[in-house]
A and B are shown apart, each in its own frame.
Chain A
């Protein structure tokens, strides 16, 4: 375009940069062996709203559950992204990938594994949302009838972020997207490649019922007086003491509640392989609460961070997300603020301190 207008080369570069800046980052969302729970959860996003997210901040060009196109038109939209935006788009994956028989999950006549490798392999980064994509999910538990595995296992060399949870909390995933699009790099991650801002702290230590635990006030049986007074659910099988997640802080559905507030124990649904490691659901945790597998994960999060918090291949998008989240018409203010290492959490060597 610059050449036809007779502009000097440096101006052409500027035009290209401007055009690129105006293009919204492209996101594709794949579903394999899933229940669509993470799609549904994303639809509940409140900050930003899902409409704001997909119509103003990014361009979500493939998402089977809600996209307009079907069949060959849907597949050609995905093909275009892989072909023309290679290395520049984000892939979000929901669901596990079967290894037992390719016919256990096909879309458009192609196997889940083929699609995953083709699409995630050309993405700038991949985000695995929900338990199934993070660790294989419930269908991966014994006897794992289909040989289901996680996204990270299927493709070990991806630039990957895991957003565990059953489902993921949309507040966290929306924040991850905005963070990534603002800074052009991933936030600090733990050993399971989960952002520390969401998974870096023990649920038990953030729980509004913690004071009851410390005072020895427990729900002894369902619907007893303690249940009505909001006593600690530890004896009813609550896995909060060994689970990390920010449920008690961000809560769910626009901050309305979370399982413990509504009366049921935590299932540790954001923990790695929780289906096999945290259940039975109603069995009291053995040992000293507050020192589970996730604590170990948090402990070694620091060194992981150094490797992944590097700039990635999305150019000119630093201000895109931010300008779209400003009230319409308001002029942009200066550039992105400098941030230090997020929250200092990455430097923690030991388990989170008990309060």
Chain B
């Protein structure tokens, strides 16, 4: 019996610590802790709500822009502003590009090294790697000479004695199972993906001026004025042609590299389709409007709730049913209530953990900067797997058809999705769905430009003197890691109260007052750990959720005022 600690849990965004109890070679209990706090929502109060997006975008940059989008939507909801169709499309394009790029980075640069042994690639025969690559896809960088060059690069690195990013990896761990040739293929694609993520995200530079932190969001629309005849217009035929080229690059990479790699790697680890299941309850708010944020039936990703893996019983999502517990979080509620609706939420950061430097947290007391959100007191998982579960239950196409075809290809029932590898596969398939969908949004935008329907911003309520003295709103977005919600209250032209709940708060949060484990914690229980000094198996499942801790901690509200209920969108 031993306590293992993984801190820093690397290859994520932010500062995550996992403590786990290992008995008889398997994890018997686990604790997930966020170890950093900033309090940005406290900082935005009393400021101009039109610039809240600029501040709150800085909550996170691995998922850059998602908070900007949720923020402008919250303010638009409060001020009852409908954005022009072109702004909806530009936002979908920016968000879609971010999702595709982020998923690719997650698989290759944050997750793959749990499954791929870089050092073992030195033993590969590049000719055989080329044969495997050719059998998987049409990706052009698949010749033996290319793989030989990559292998040479790895050899030079290893022989230099300075492994750089690969220093102290778990190389040679018995849980690595890929043949050398597949390891070499994956290492090559790790490098290809580094180039891809850089090039594809130029979509954000065109439509947002830069990435990370694109800078063209406006309450009421976008700053990217469009004109088919102006060389200086932020969007004109030349810019859209560049975006079209980049979108095609994204489709090619996802279809020819990302999805084939995920399925190929998964084939060597079939037992991970039955491990890391977690809580089995799934929640999605819904997003990517095909018409308007006010028309949830038009969402590309439908909202809903699925419990106990029962895809036959889809329930609508209702924001009123969300509560947050702080029983095991470093906060206090003034009135000592165990749980509060987000509208009533308050935050008094009160660190009661051990004074650093410390070896172990007080896991029997409070142990995280994350709160524990619950839906009707149930623990929920959010993210690509949740979105597929909801879309599948809703019979939504093309998502359902894609899942069915892949399950038929790998000859497995839908239940294999509820696992560590299921999460990873769902993310890859979601990247494919969105990479393909991007073309449609660009077509619409281009059609609008062609018929000179150029409106990009609704300025009717830009000036604060056009606002009611007090109002509030809710903004949502389907971020790569799951559903994101922003709540804003505006009074006399300034932010009175602001609240954010990020998807990783749901997934990475600690226990609640009833003692229910958070999704990370629940998913780890039962995992084999071959070598407690090198807990590779633990990393696999935690990484499959794609943690984002900077987002997750930003869930405080500004003043602890009592909120009234907001109607579900």
Chain A contacts to B: CB under 8 angstroms: 22-24, 26, 31-41, 43-46, 49-51, 54-55, 58-77, 98, 101-111, 114, 137-139, 141-146, 148, 166-167, 209, 221-224, 227-230, 251-254, 256-264, 267, 275, 279-282
- What 12 new A-B contacts, CB under 8 Å, besides A145-B37, A228-B227? A37-B58, A59-B160, A106-B36, A114-B356, A222-B218, A223-B225, A228-B233, A229-B233, A253-B210, A257-B206, A257-B210, A267-B215
Q: What is the CA–CA distance of A280 and B195 in the complex, to the nearest angstrom? A: 36
Which residues of chain B have C-beta atoms less than 8 A from A222's C-beta?
A: 218, 220-221, 223, 225, 456-457, 459, 462
Which residues of chain A have C-beta atoms less than 8 A from B5's C-beta?
A: 71-72, 109
B157 touches A55 (CB 8 A): yes
Q: Is B1 located at the chain interface by the 8 A CB criterion?
A: no
Q: What is the CA–CA distance of A50 and B196 in the complex, to the nearest angstrom? A: 12
Q: Is B526 located at the chain interface by the 8 A CB criterion?
A: no
5 nearest A-B residue pairs (beta carbon): A230-B232, A37-B61, A259-B209, A68-B169, A145-B39
Q: What is the CA–CA distance of A47 and B205 in the complex, to the nearest angstrom? A: 17
Which residues of chain A have C-beta atoms less than 8 A from B230's C-beta?
A: 228-230
**In-complex Cβ contact of B8 among A26, A74, A139 (8 A):** A74
Q: What is the CA–CA distance of A69 and B533 in the complex, to the nearest angstrom? A: 12
Chain A binder among B22-30, B43-51, B135-143, B311-319:
B43-51
What are some 24 contacts across the A-B interface (CB < 8 A)?
A35-B550, A39-B61, A43-B197, A45-B198, A55-B157, A59-B162, A65-B11, A65-B62, A69-B10, A75-B8, A104-B351, A105-B35, A105-B36, A108-B8, A114-B357, A137-B58, A167-B213, A228-B226, A228-B454, A230-B232, A253-B198, A257-B205, A261-B234, A279-B47
Query: Please, which residue of chain A has its CB at the minimum distance from the CB of B41?
Result: A145
Chain A binder among B12-20, B268-276, B428-436:
B12-20
B215 touches A264 (CB 8 A): yes
Q: Is B148 located at the chain interface by the 8 A CB criterion?
A: no
**In-complex Cβ contact of B48 among A37, A49, A101, A281 (8 A):** A281
Which residues of chain B have C-beta atoms less than 8 A from A110's C-beta?
A: 356-357
**In-complex Cβ contact of B202 among A24, A62, A72, A256 (8 A):** A256
**In-complex Cβ contact of A282 among B51, B105, B215 (8 A):** B51
Which residues of chain A have C-beta atoms less than 8 A from B533's C-beta?
A: 72
Q: What is the CA–CA distance of A279 and B202 in the complex, to the nearest angstrom? A: 27
B225 touches A227 (CB 8 A): yes
B48 touches A43 (CB 8 A): no
Q: Is B207 located at the chain interface by the 8 A CB criterion?
A: yes
**In-complex Cβ contact of A64 among B6, B10, B221, B454 (8 A):** B10
Q: Is B453 located at the chain interface by the 8 A CB criterion?
A: no
Which residues of chain A have C-beta atoms less than 8 A from B186's C-beta?
A: none
Which residues of chain A have C-beta atoms less than 8 A from B163's C-beta?
A: 59, 61
A264 touches B209 (CB 8 A): yes
Q: Is B343 located at the chain interface by the 8 A CB criterion?
A: no
Query: Please, which residue of chain A has its CB at the minimum distance from the CB of B62?
Result: A36
Query: Please, which residue of chain A has its CB at the minimum distance from the CB of B33?
Result: A106
Q: What is the CA–CA distance of A260 and B47 in the complex, to the nearest angstrom? A: 23
Which residues of chain B have C-beta atoms less than 8 A from A267's C-beta?
A: 54, 215
Which residues of chain A have C-beta atoms less than 8 A from B213's C-beta?
A: 37, 166-167
B37 touches A105 (CB 8 A): yes
Which residues of chain A have C-beta atoms less than 8 A from B354's C-beta?
A: 109
Query: Please, which residue of chain A has its CB at the minimum distance from the CB of B116?
Result: A68
B58 touches A145 (CB 8 A): no
B58 touches A138 (CB 8 A): yes
B210 touches A66 (CB 8 A): no
Q: Is the interface of B mostly helix, strand, loop or mixed?
A: loop
Q: A-facing mask of B100-123, CB < 8 A → 1, else 0?
A: 000001000110010000100000
| Min CB gap A291→B, angstroms | 24
Q: A-facing mask of B529-556, CB < 8 A → 1, else 0?
A: 0000111000100000000001000000
Which residues of chain A have C-beta atoms less than 8 A from B199's C-beta?
A: 254
Which residues of chain A have C-beta atoms less than 8 A from B13's C-beta?
A: 35-36, 65
B residues 341-387 near A (Cβ < 8 Å) are 349, 351, 353-359
Q: What is the CA–CA distance of A141 and B55 in the complex, to the nearest angstrom? A: 11
- Known: A222-B218, A257-B206, A262-B223. Is A40-B61 also a contact (CB below 8 A)? yes
Q: Is B284 located at the chain interface by the 8 A CB criterion?
A: no
Which residues of chain A have C-beta atoms less than 8 A from B211's C-beta?
A: 40, 44, 252-253
A68 touches B216 (CB 8 A): no
Which residues of chain B have C-beta atoms less than 8 A from A67's C-beta?
A: 10-11, 165, 167
Query: Please, which residue of chain B has its CB at the minimum distance from the CB of A209?
Result: B232
Q: What is the CA–CA distance of A228 and B222 in the complex, to the nearest angstrom? A: 12
**In-complex Cβ contact of A223 among B109, B160, B221 (8 A):** B221
- Known: A66-B11, A166-B58. Is A282-B50 also a contact (CB below 8 A)? yes
- Known: A37-B61, A72-B533. Is A253-B205 also a contact (CB below 8 A)? yes
Q: A-facing mask of B53-75, CB < 8 A → 1, else 0?
A: 01100111110100000000000
Q: What is the CA–CA distance of A312 and B371 in the complex, to the nearest angstrom? A: 46
B168 touches A111 (CB 8 A): no
Which residues of chain A have C-beta atoms less than 8 A from B445's C-beta?
A: none
A68 touches B351 (CB 8 A): no
B205 touches A36 (CB 8 A): no
Considering residues B199, B356, B533, which has the most beta carbons from chain A within 10 angstroms of its beta carbon? B356
Q: What is the CA–CA distance of A178 and B457 in the complex, to the nearest angstrom? A: 43
| Min CB gap B442→A, angstroms | 16
Which residues of chain B have C-beta atoms less than 8 A from A105's C-beta?
A: 15, 35-37
- Known: A253-B201, A258-B209. Is A264-B153 also a contact (CB below 8 A)? no
Q: What is the CA–CA distance of A198 and B433 in the complex, to the nearest angstrom? A: 40
**In-complex Cβ contact of A107 among B15, B60, B64 (8 A):** B15
B456 touches A223 (CB 8 A): yes
**In-complex Cβ contact of B50 among A64, A144, A281 (8 A):** A281
| Min CB gap A281→B, angstroms | 4
Q: Is B166 located at the chain interface by the 8 A CB criterion?
A: yes
Considering residues A74, A221, A256, which has the most beta carbons from chain B within 10 angstroms of its beta carbon? A256
- Known: A68-B118, A70-B9. Is A258-B351 also a contact (CB below 8 A)? no
B residues 451-500 near A (Cβ < 8 Å) are 454-457, 459, 462
Which residues of chain A have C-beta atoms less than 8 A from B457's C-beta?
A: 222-223
Query: Please, which residue of chain B has its CB at the minimum distance from the CB of A108?
Result: B7
- Known: A139-B39, A229-B233. Is A281-B167 also a contact (CB below 8 A)? no
**In-complex Cβ contact of A262 among B55, B215, B231, B356 (8 A):** B215
| Min CB gap B5→A, angstroms | 7
Q: What is the CA–CA distance of A46 and B40 in the complex, to the nearest angstrom? A: 32
Query: Please, which residue of chain B has its CB at the minimum distance from the CB of A61?
Result: B167
Which residues of chain A have C-beta atoms less than 8 A from B224's C-beta?
A: 262-263
Query: Please, which residue of chain B has its CB at the minimum distance from the CB of A228?
Result: B227
Q: What is the CA–CA distance of A77 and B167 in the complex, to the nearest angstrom? A: 7
Q: What is the CA–CA distance of A45 and B224 in the complex, to the nearest angstrom? A: 25
A74 touches B10 (CB 8 A): yes
Q: Is B42 located at the chain interface by the 8 A CB criterion?
A: yes
A111 touches B462 (CB 8 A): no
Q: What is the CA–CA distance of A324 and B105 in the complex, to the nearest angstrom? A: 26
B15 touches A106 (CB 8 A): yes
Query: Please, which residue of chain B has its CB at the minimum distance from the CB of A24?
Result: B162
Q: What is the CA–CA distance of A102 and B218 in the complex, to the nearest angstrom? A: 37
A36 touches B550 (CB 8 A): yes
Q: Is B405 located at the chain interface by the 8 A CB criterion?
A: no
Q: Is B191 located at the chain interface by the 8 A CB criterion?
A: yes
B225 touches A228 (CB 8 A): yes
A54 touches B164 (CB 8 A): yes
B residues 80-136 near A (Cβ < 8 Å) are 105, 109-110, 113, 118
Q: Is B170 located at the chain interface by the 8 A CB criterion?
A: yes
Which residues of chain B have C-beta atoms less than 8 A from A229's C-beta?
A: 227, 230, 232-233
Q: What is the CA–CA distance of A245 and B454 in the complex, to the nearest angstrom? A: 32
Which residues of chain A have C-beta atoms less than 8 A from B242's C-beta?
A: 256
Q: What is the CA–CA distance of A64 and B6 in the complex, to the nearest angstrom? A: 12
Q: What is the CA–CA distance of A32 and B36 in the complex, to the nearest angstrom? A: 8
- Known: A34-B550, A40-B212. Is A69-B227 also a contact (CB below 8 A)? no
B160 touches A24 (CB 8 A): yes
Which residues of chain B have C-beta atoms less than 8 A from A54's C-beta?
A: 164-165
B358 touches A139 (CB 8 A): no
